[in-house]
Amino acid sequence: MLNAIVLAAGEGKRMKSRRPKVLQTIGGRPMLRHLIESLDALETEQILVVTGSGAEQVEASLEDSGCRFIRQAERLGTGHAVMQALPKVPDDARVLILPGDMPLIRPETLKSLLDSQADLALLSFMADDPTGYGRILRDAQGRVLAIREQRDASADELSVNEVNSGVMCARAGDLSRWLDQISDDNAQGEYYLTDCIAIAAGEGRRVDAVVAPDAEELMGANDRAQLARLEAVFQNRARQALMAQGVTLADPSRVIVRGRINCGQDVFIDADVLLQGDVTLGDNVQIGQGCVLGNCSLASGTQLAPYTVIESASTTGACTVGPFARLRPGTELAEGVKIGNFVEVKNARFERGAKASHLSYVGDARVGEGANLGAGTITCNYDGVNKHRTRIGKDAFVGSNTALVAPVEIGDGATIGAGSVITQSAPADALTVARARQRSFKAWKRPEKKDN
Ligand code: UD1
Ligand code: CA
């Protein structure tokens, strides 16, 4: 029976932020969220999250996670934090303790710790720069004796490169007994969880530090510089995962991933692309330079020319979009649709083969199969109070610079003369022109310059 205790009560002073530390984001999502996802891959009886500073915010961020929350009213240290949660765990249960600021840990690494038969097992790693971490102190035989925190360490101890990740595992009953013996007599005046190690070793219990092969995934983030380092590792992983799915990245270091990306084969992504939220890209989708894609699904063969911005939209067949196009929420494009430069689409469906090639705004509309919207076609969907719909029929042809004042309907096969302001429905298969008639004045003469 495995119980997890996640320590997330700290303020994170070193971040210099109003946001609780564990809610600082990596890949667009809170660090704590990443950690809970890794834990979800293990079979835990319960996940107890110790909250304190910014508790309401932290708890709200995990509302749908099934975690239980324990408030640590005063932050008296990591040992004190664990003590608050232990009463909720049966004495004979195994407890896995994790710091909330460790978003990159993989479930496999946690499993390797859980495989240890030791009475107290912890994950350590070799740090190039151990500054800030607790140092693992071993005897001549390599047995773990203690963990010494940075601020309490001697010069010799500071030179140790094996450091504590903050993840450990032991029986709840043992932990309570050890924690009853720790004190706050140290440089920070805190109850250190890490003092349990020396106590357990002193009882003659088996203490194991499992050295994780990949130091990167155990890195914590106490300040913005460390956060940036974790972000870099996360991005690197995300890019590797994309390439493993069969995606070509023109320059892997220039794609940013802030969400869950699902790609088919032979997708091509050019430089400086940002992917956020849930993004699904079908086979052979081509994403041009500088595109920003949020929560969208693009069907196989869709091509985005550079600097296209998409939010909550989808293509259901191969389409071409951009450059400099904007697809806003509720946009749906069927096969063969073309959306060209400086076209904005919102809450509108384009049927098969419909086109808006230049400089248009199409909102709250349905554009029929094969219809063609000329440059500068605008749906006037908003009367200042309410939104209204525009319906454009199959094979309609709307001349350039037409304003379609909604609610309005353009019939199938209708042609609208350029520059029209359409306020009433236009019949199918007819030419509708709604603009001042052109006149020429033969007798008119240009004014001449007067002599004064
Ligand atoms: C801790 C470890 C250190 C280890 C490092 C790994 C201790 C004493 N030190 O140091 O050995 O190398 O993590 O990153 O455990 N927290 C609470 N309540 C508190 C204090 C902290 O919930 O009263 C939480 C924090 O929110 C954080 C976690 O515990 O998520 C670790 O605390 P932090 O202050 O970051 O510890 P470190 O100084 O990094
Ligand atoms: Ca930390």
Report the C-alpha gap between 369 and 417 in whole angstroms: 20
* Domains of the chain by start residue, with CATH: 2-218 (3.90.550.10), 235-432 (2.160.10.10)
Ligand nearest to the Cα of 12, by number: 1
Query: Which ligand is the nearest neighbour of the Cα of 127?
Result: 1
pLDDT at 154: 97
Which residue's CA is minimally distant from atom 16 of ligand 1?
A: 10
Which pLDDT score is estimated for 204?
Answer: 97
Q: What is the number of the ligand 1 atom nearest to the C-alpha of 102?
A: 14
Q: Which long-range contacts (CB under 8 A, 24 or more apart) does 359-367 make?
A: 362/390, 363/328, 363/387, 364/388, 364/389, 364/390, 364/406, 365/389, 365/390, 365/391, 365/392, 365/406, 366/390, 366/391, 366/392, 367/392
Tens digits of per-residue pLDDT, 277-334? 999 999 999 999 999 999 999 999 999 999 999 999 999 999 999 999 999 999 999 9
Residue ranges around ligand 1 (CB below 6 Å) = 7-10, 21-22, 50, 52, 72, 75-78, 80-81, 99-101, 133-134, 147, 149, 163-166, 192-194, 220, 222
Q: Which two tokens stand for residue 141?
A: 């035989």
Digit-coded pLDDT (tens) for 215-225: 999 999 999 99
What digits encode the pLDDT tens for the residues 20-74?
999 999 999 999 999 999 999 999 999 999 999 999 999 999 999 999 999 999 9
What are residue 177's phi and psi, to 5 degrees?
-65, -45
Measured from the Cα of 192, ligand 1's closest atom is 8
User: Ligand 2 centroid to 222 CA: how many Å?
Assistant: 5
* Nearest CA residue ID for atom 3, ligand 1: 134
CA dihedral for 170, 92, 108, 44, sign (positive or negative): negative
Residue 358 falls in the annotated catalytic set: yes
What pLDDT does 309 receive? 98
Closest CA to 111 of 91, 94, 128, 89: 94
For residue 80, give the ligand 1 atom closest to its CA. Answer: 23
Q: Are 190 and 182 in contact (CB under 8 A)?
A: no
State the pLDDT at residue 11.
86
Rounded-to-integer distance, Cα 394 and Cα 353, Å: 10
- Residue of 33, 61, 78 to test ligand 1 pocket, by largest number of atoms within 8 Å of CB: 78
Number of the ligand closest to the Cα of 23: 1
Residue-by-residue pLDDT tens, the chain, 452 positions: 899 999 999 988 999 999 999 999 999 999 999 999 999 999 999 999 999 999 999 999 999 999 999 999 999 999 999 999 999 999 999 999 999 999 999 999 999 999 999 999 999 999 999 999 999 999 999 999 999 999 999 999 999 999 999 999 999 999 999 999 999 999 999 999 999 999 999 999 999 999 999 999 999 999 999 999 999 999 999 999 999 999 999 999 999 999 999 999 999 999 999 999 999 999 999 999 999 999 999 999 999 999 999 999 999 999 999 999 999 999 999 999 999 999 999 999 999 999 999 999 999 999 999 999 999 999 999 999 999 999 999 999 999 999 999 999 999 999 999 999 999 999 999 999 999 999 999 999 999 999 87
Q: Report pLDDT for 1.
A: 87
329-344: per-residue pLDDT in tens? 999 999 999 999 999 9
Question: What's the pLDDT score for residue 47?
Answer: 98
Q: Residue 100 Cα, ligand 1 centroid: separation in angstroms?
A: 9
Indicate the DSSP class of residue 449. Answer: P
How do 207-211 and 120-126 pair as beta strands?
Answer: parallel
In the reported structure, the alpha carbon of residue 441 is separated from the centroid of ligand 2 by a whole-number distance in angstroms of 83
CA of residue 99 to ligand 1 center, whole Å: 6
pTM of structure: 0.91
Cβ atoms within 10 Å of 60's Cβ, excluding its own: 10
Q: Within its chain, how far is the Cα of 243 from the centroid? A: 18
Ligand 1 atom 26: the closest Cα is on which residue?
Answer: 10
Determine the pLDDT at residue 284.
98
The position carrying tokens 């996670």 is 65
Neighbours of 423 (CB within 10 A): 12
Q: Token digits for 167?
A: 């993840």
Task: Report which protein residue has its CA nearest ligand 1's atom 35.
Answer: 222
Q: Measuring from atom 13 of ligand 1, which residue has the nearest CA?
A: 166
What confidence score (pLDDT) does residue 183 get?
A: 96
Ligand 1 nearest-atom number relative to CA 81:
18
